[in-house]
Structure 1
Amino acid sequence: MIFTKKRYSVNDLILKKDLNYQKNLDLFLVNYYEKDRFFYWNKKTEKLFSFTDLFIIKKNLRKINQNKNINLICKKKRFYNLDLKLKKGVFIPQYDTEGLVNLVLQNENNKKGFEIGVGSGAIILSILKNSNNKMDGIDISKKAIKLARYNQNKNQLKFKKINLLKKDLFKITKKLNYDFIVANPPYVSFNDSFLTKEAKNIQPKKGLFAKENGLYFYKYLISHNEFFLNRNGIFYFEIGLNQKKYLQKYLLDFKNLSFKFEKDLNNIDRYLVIKKEK
């Protein structure tokens, strides 16, 4: 292939007048080049792209047309003002989870926290970037821990007090003492018929599915609250659709815990906050 010094405008990329093509082009430009789409459309005649750019754009537009996930195509995602690198096999953070980060930041500062299942580092890094908390984070995946450390450096958070470890939650034997614990654990039931095909294809199964109709991680942590939390310590959980009533019933058996459910931007009960009272 011969690469030339010729440069191209966004007009040169519109090979079809197909609206779907233009929509996908918009989507790719915003996610890959990190420029607002209007930046390009307002400069239609300017030569902004090299031949290499043209090759990359056309190649990845074909992938978008095959319904491949835009975040995995670009291998990155913006989350709570962080620039996150993504990798296949590590959970892709969803925008609903920004609400979970908000809840923590509204209530916790200068505290010692713990995240279970750090994935790309989206939650723990967002909290640390916007507070003076100290945090530990674990994940069962070595790839996830490596990626979270990369994203920590990428977002210039090396100075923050954070400890990331490859560890299995269920093999922790030493009593922990945290002021707060945050988790977006696997919460999808193995027989869930509402899970989208895309989610099944792009997310790692270990990050999606859990036993006991998706409630296994919640029940384990709640039942071991004395092991994990300090007095007045708090759990912050993201929960699945229609799980509120089951968790509510389960929590009523724990007299030392108070709890409340919080809604997301779609007015759905998406977050569970549990406080250890004594």
Structure 2
Amino acid sequence: MRSGLTLGEAAARLERVSDTPRLDAELLLAHSLGVERDRLLLDGVRDGGADFAALVERRAGGEPLAYLTGSRHFWTVEIKVGPGVLIPRPDSETLLDAAAAHFRGTAGPRRVLDLGTGPGSLLLAALDEWPRASGVGVDASEVALGYARANAEALGMADRAAFAIGDWGAGLVERFDLILCNPPYIAEGDAEVARDVAAHEPHEALYAGESGLDDYRRIVPQLAGLLGEAGLAVLEIGHSQAESVAKLLEAAGFSPVLHRDLAGRARALSITG
């Protein structure tokens, strides 16, 4: 009995769990063969063996693609991820777009703080964008920080990126030129969360109380003591949270600016020092 699958068979198998079944199948086949997707396509490879079939079955069962391949491309860097750590998403690049626009025409930020760094995604992308910068990533998860340190090492940034266990910005006394933050902002019981996300990614990195605002209420009061003069802080938000998070920022004395993602949805709020 044949143990492998063709790309077409794999894509058909993944239609129930993915909006991009053919792409998922190609990425899994490339990963199983240890090659890049473009090489697979150029060589015309159209099927794989037992390893590929096993990966397809795990994806069909709901495991996130990035956990199966072990990494996700984000901004200009490749971020290693796995169970217990939040997978970086293209929507979060909105924060970096906002930062790049703010610092355009300048030398850029020298010190960067990433609150809730996860596998280091935002901090390491920022350090790649501004090679003279250094920074700190804070997270409450030792698992996430393990990935973050490994990513910094793999990207040659271990001497520029420090990571620390912490409760958002509590205890930090330094002021930063750029603060990036992607906190949990999903309301408990939100039925719109994708099943594979809810089932596999760490709940503490996703959910923030009944309204999804619990962590903003803790972070916003800390920002005035962390943001340097003429610095920028950018917070990711859920697409329906612009008004509620803006009110928290305004109550703290800031004038937030809204940033939208590529789909036109509210995705981030920024403030200046």
TM-score, with structure 2 as normaliser: 0.83
4+ residue stretches of structure 1 with deviation over 6 A? none
What is the aligned partner in structure 2 of residue 135 from structure 1?
135
Equivalent of residue 199 in structure 1, options 197, 200, 221: 197
CA distance in 2, matches of 1:127, 1:35: 25
Return closer, same or farther for 1:261/1:31 CA change in 2, 3 Å cut-off: farther
**Partners of 2:139 and 2:167 within 8 A in 1:** yes
Give, as a single letter, the amino acid of the residue that structure 2 aligns with 1:266. Answer: A
Aligned to 1:185: 183
Deviation string 1:183-234 (CA, Å, 9 cap, x unpaired) is: 0001111132322222211210110111361122223222233322223332
Match for residue 36 of structure 1?
37
User: Relative to structure 2, which stretch is displaced further, 239-248 or 76-85?
Assistant: 76-85
Matches within 5 A, 1:208-247: 208-211=206-209, 213-247=211-245
Shift of 1:41: 4.5
Which of 264, 268, 271 pairs up with 2:268? 271
Which consecutive unaligned segments of at least 5 residues does structure 1 have? 1-11
Structure 2 stretches lacking a partner, 5+ long: 14-20
Distance in 2 of aligned mates of 1:17 and 1:211: 41
Q: Which moved more, 1:72-81 or 1:121-130?
A: 72-81
Cα distance, 1:163 vs structure 2: 1.4
**Deviation of 1:112 (Å):** 1.6
Q: Equivalences for 1:30-179 in 2 at 5 Å?
A: 30=30, 33=34, 35-36=36-37, 39-44=39-44, 54-108=49-103, 109-131=108-130, 132-159=132-159, 161-169=160-168, 172-179=170-177
Larger-gyration structure (1/2): 1
1:90 match: secondary structure = coil
Aligned partners of 1:89 and 1:204 also within 8 Å: yes
Q: Residues 30 and 36 of structure 1 are in contact (CA less than 8 Å); yes or no, is this contact kept in structure 2?
A: yes
CA contact (8 A) 1:177 1:227 kept: yes
Higher mean displacement: 260-269 or 131-140:
131-140
* Structure 1 residue identity aligned to 2:181: A
1:14 has 2:6 as partner: yes
SS of the residue corresponding to residue 55 of structure 2 reads helix
- How many angstroms does 1:65 deviate by? 2.7
Secondary structure of the residue aligned to 1:225 is: helix
Secondary structure of residue in 2 paired with 1:96: helix
> Pairwise CA RMSD of aligned residues?
2.7
Total equivalences in the alignment: 256
Distance 1:187 1:175 in 2: 26
- 2:259 is aligned with 1:262: yes
Change (3 A) 1:216 1:35: same
Name 2:16's counterpart in structure 1: none
Against the structure 1 CA distance between its residues 163 and 62, is the aligned structure 2 distance closer, same or farther, given a 3 Å change threshold?
Answer: same
Q: 1:30 to 1:178 in 2, by over 3 A?
A: same
Q: Residues 223-269 of structure 1, C-alpha deviation per residue, up to 9 Å, x if partnerless?
A: 233322223332111101210111233333344x2220011000011
Q: Which amino acid aligns with 2:12?
A: N
| 1:111-149 Cα distance to aligned partner (Å, 9 max, x none) | 222111111111111110110222111111111111111
CA distance in 2, matches of 1:45, 1:75: 21
